[in-house]
Amino acid sequence: MRRRDLLSTSLAAGVATAIARRAVAQPAPPAAPAAPPPAAPAPAVAAAPSATSAGSTLIVPDGRVLTGRKVGGVRVYHLVAEPIRHEVAPGLVIDTWGYNGGTPGPVIEATEGERVRIYVTNKLPEATTVHWHGLVVPNGMDGVAGLTQPTIPPGETWRYEFVLPHAGTFMYHPHVDEMTQIALGMVGMIVVHPKRRPASERRVRDFVMMAHEWKIVPGARRPDPLAMSDFNQLAWNGKAFPATTPLTAATGDLVRIRIGNLGPMDGHPIHLHGHRFTVVETDGGQVPPGARWPETTVWVPVGSVRVIEFVADQPGDWPLHCHMTHHAMNQMGHDVPNWLGADVQGVDGRIRKLAPGYMTMGTTGMADMMQMDLPDNAISMRGGKGQYGAIDMGGMFTIVKVRDGLTGDADPGWYAHPAGTVPRAASAAELAGDGIDG
Ligand SMILES: [Cu+2]
């Protein structure tokens, strides 16, 4: 069996399953997002990556912000629940569900004490609702189908309205057919700023990052909403590394990262290199200063928010990633035979009589398999390229780029390491001098 055959054999069953399941999936999305109905105000969607919407102080790498519009003292928003076509990374485009043309949906930004009115248009082929996760709202506005409201039928626009009593970081998602709607990507975050923002002597970089996971059989366009454990595509704000836009900061900035997780099943241990941070807030509110402790990894369970803060005091290119190895990896890390450490020379020799050139992959690790031929609409397990070669991480992986004197949001490129700060091969004289048997 050639390596490509090995791959396709292991994938064939999955592809067949995915095709079968399309019967219970959904029709193809519209070619272009339709205009919002005239009765509702137009959403203020910024389409550019790393959106900092006009008047917003948030930075959403690869995402968007809805700042709403003031109408008679009420801040008005418009969410459109709809089928979307979404690029997870170049080479992997999926047909899935989201809000306002993307997944995650736009970050809803408001201020503590404001009255908000949120119109929700349902362009899905099934009913939906929106639950305001973590917000304290009147019970009838809680968005739970059957329990607190009838569902919003396809084609209709409904209206939610409430006052935001608390500042903080929250989320939104449907409470109808959660297994499908949340899994496909109908998730988003809400940031409610305090009425009086605490003064900071440092420049604040206020990032919003949402974790998500899908099962996407290599070659398929539809994520499988029935998956319970075998998720193979992990993302930050809908993008898998190397498609993630880096977070940038100047040395000395106060960096806040609001991390939300509304993936279907998995919590994520999110790890930051080169810095120590504290968790200052959850979706339940501020953590009192006396109850905070230093960390380099924060556990972000499904259905929760963790807001971390640190001073960016170390220039460099620092990974921010899920520490579960299969979550910092792109498609195809699963369901292939484990040959690690196996002596396959005899087997390979016999197979080569039938298939010249055959070589079993994975006997010395998986790095070679990460470069194998790919089916259409699939991306390499290996993530991206760095200045020194391949970065063997993908998925829920991105880079925090800290530079002296950095201004603006543009990617400053790779870090120029000062001389003598990158490891190199040891010389014989060095080994002998330090008594190391190399
Ligand atoms: Cu993870």
Q: What percent of the chain has pLDDT over 90?
A: 69
Query: Count of CB atoms within 10 A of residue 30's CB?
Result: 12
Q: How far is the CA of 142 from the centre of ligand 1 (A)?
A: 28
Q: How far is the CA of 302 from the centre of ligand 1 (A)?
A: 10
Q: What is the mean pLDDT of residues 418-438?
A: 95
Q: How far is the CA of 109 from the centre of ligand 1 (A)?
A: 26
Q: How far is the CA of 361 from the centre of ligand 1 (A)?
A: 26
Q: Where are the domains of the chain?
A: 29-201
CATH class of this structure's domain 29-201: mainly beta
pTM over 0.95: no
User: Would you state the pLDDT for residue 105?
Assistant: 98
User: Would you state the pLDDT for residue 8?
Assistant: 37
Q: How far is the CA of 299 from the centre of ligand 1 (A)?
A: 9
What are the tens digits of pLDDT across the range 315-340?
999 999 999 988 988 876 556 666 66
Q: How far is the CA of 369 from the centre of ligand 1 (A)?
A: 22
Confidence of residue 53 (pLDDT cuts 50, 70, 90): low
**Buried b vs exposed e over 387-416: b needs ≥16 C-beta within 10 Å?**
eeeebbbbbbbbbbbbbeebeebeeeeebe
Q: How far is the CA of 268 from the centre of ligand 1 (A)?
A: 4
CA distance 28 to 121: 18
pLDDT exceeds 90 at position 346: no
Strands 107-111 and 188-193: parallel
Q: How far is the CA of 317 from the centre of ligand 1 (A)?
A: 21
Q: How far is the CA of 320 from the centre of ligand 1 (A)?
A: 12
Q: How far is the CA of 119 from the centre of ligand 1 (A)?
A: 33
Q: How far is the CA of 322 from the centre of ligand 1 (A)?
A: 5
Q: How far is the CA of 171 from the centre of ligand 1 (A)?
A: 19
User: Would you state the pLDDT for residue 362?
Assistant: 66
